[in-house]
Structure 1
Amino acid sequence: MARQPHRFTEDDFNALEGRASKTEQKKAVQRMAALGEQLAELSPKQIQNLPVEERLIDALLDAQTITSHEARRRQFQRVGKLLRNEDESVILSYLTPQQGAKKTAQLQRWVERIIKDGDPVINEFVKTYNAAERHTIRQHVLRIHRDMSKQVGETELAESKLKLFNYVQQVALISDN
């Protein structure tokens, strides 16, 4: 007896909406590892003052003492994994003084232009910042536009915009080095 093919319903696709693909998850881990490398460049005193878990502080301090290339790579993968449990905004607030207020304002303008104009500006941003992923930015923008069309609460819309800004800020930090 032949097997009947499974028919996917609209509910099946709606359940998957908003979930990151495996590739996006891997790229997020790579971004977090790169942010970990930036955090490891801070002084030990600055690292001690980070408002994060003690395990992450220990991992960052250990990373400063490791000289073997492969061991450093593994250590930063571990740091990236630990960073996923932390608030991105707090981590970025410690790294943005390296960028300065002018750079932060410039990134905020990028976010506003990306939301307003879409693909042409996204392509320009991706050319400017080589660590940026077109697909990820588009997903953030689609989420923001969906929230605007559904007329969700102001806090939810601000949260979606903050996620895009955090991503843009991460990409700018990683691309500058």
Structure 2
Amino acid sequence: MARRPQQRFSEDDYESLEGRASKTEQKKAVQRMAALGEQLANLSKKQIQQLPVEERLIDALLDVQLITSHEARRRQFQRIGKLLRNEDETVILSYLTPQQGLKKTAQLQRWVDRIIAQGDPVINEFAKMYNATERHTLRQHLLRVHRDMSQQADEEQIAASKLKLFNYVQQVALISDNT
């Protein structure tokens, strides 16, 4: 298979990012959130009750622990995924990262730094390592970071873009580790 030449991003590429996510991306985001919900459901009752999230989400997480039917659990996790969309990803991931440990978090940060610096080759390497990776979504996050850096946005905006990229990488790692 021929390799694609290394390309530079044009201004049109950056502007096309501003649109809404495609239906496929939205569905995959819901699937990722449902998988995160499964991770949250594995926490103890005490840990779930201490989560700084909406009461409905806490109730849904506690309810899923009582459900034994496979189909009912699947539907409940879909519901949890929808409820998770209203929550702050960073807060939720902060409760799941102790399961990963500091070493794993540092490793993921190095992945993010390499992805930002080297682009597609590292994205492909990361996707081989973590099977839940959506290359397109990862490229979109990378494109946003590069856009902010090229437009010389303020440090806060660049940091926010990098945090979104890191959150996505962290979600993928959590989901991949348990599939």
Q: TM-score, normalised by structure 1?
A: 0.91
Secondary structure of the 1:172 match is helix
CA-based RMSD of the aligned residues comes to 1.5
Residue equivalent to 1:44 = 45
Of all paired residues, the percent bearing the same amino acid is: 84
Residue equivalent to 1:115 = 116
Give me the whole-angstrom Cα distance separating, in 1, the residues matched to 2:104 and 2:20. 31
Give me the whole-angstrom Cα distance separating, in 1, the residues matched to 2:148 and 2:63. 42
Query: Which of 1 and 2 has greater Rg?
Result: 1
> Once the 2 structures are TM-superposed, how far is the Cα of residue 15 of structure 1 from its aligned partner?
7.3
2:162 is equivalent to residue 161 of structure 1: yes
| TM alignment of 1:97-108, pairs within 5 A | 97-108=98-109
Give me the whole-angstrom Cα distance separating, in 1, the residues matched to 2:17 and 2:102. 38
Give me the whole-angstrom Cα distance separating, in 2, the residues matched to 1:47 and 1:126. 31
Give me the whole-angstrom Cα distance separating, in 1, the residues matched to 2:113 and 2:79. 34
Secondary structure of the 2:163 match is helix
Matched length: 166
Residue equivalent to 2:87 = 86
Contact 2:37 2:77 in 1 (8 A): yes
Letter in 1 for 2:79: R
Contact 2:17 2:140 in 1 (8 A): no
Residue equivalent to 1:8 = none
For residues 23-42 of structure 1, give each alpha carbon's deviation from its aligned partner in whole angstroms, at most 9, with x where no partner exists. Answer: 00000000000000000000
Letter in 2 for 1:48: Q
Q: 1:43 to 1:163 in 2, by over 3 A?
A: same
Q: TM-score, normalised by structure 2?
A: 0.90
Give me the whole-angstrom Cα distance separating, in 1, the residues matched to 2:67 and 2:15. 45
Give me the whole-angstrom Cα distance separating, in 2, the residues matched to 1:145 and 1:18. 17
> Once the 2 structures are TM-superposed, how far is the Cα of residue 20 of structure 1 from its aligned partner?
1.0
Residue equivalent to 1:128 = 129
> Once the 2 structures are TM-superposed, how far is the Cα of residue 17 of structure 1 from its aligned partner?
2.7
2:46 is equivalent to residue 54 of structure 1: no
Residue equivalent to 1:6 = none
Give me the whole-angstrom Cα distance separating, in 2, the residues matched to 1:128 and 1:165. 16
Q: Which runs of 5+ in 1 are unaligned?
A: 1-10
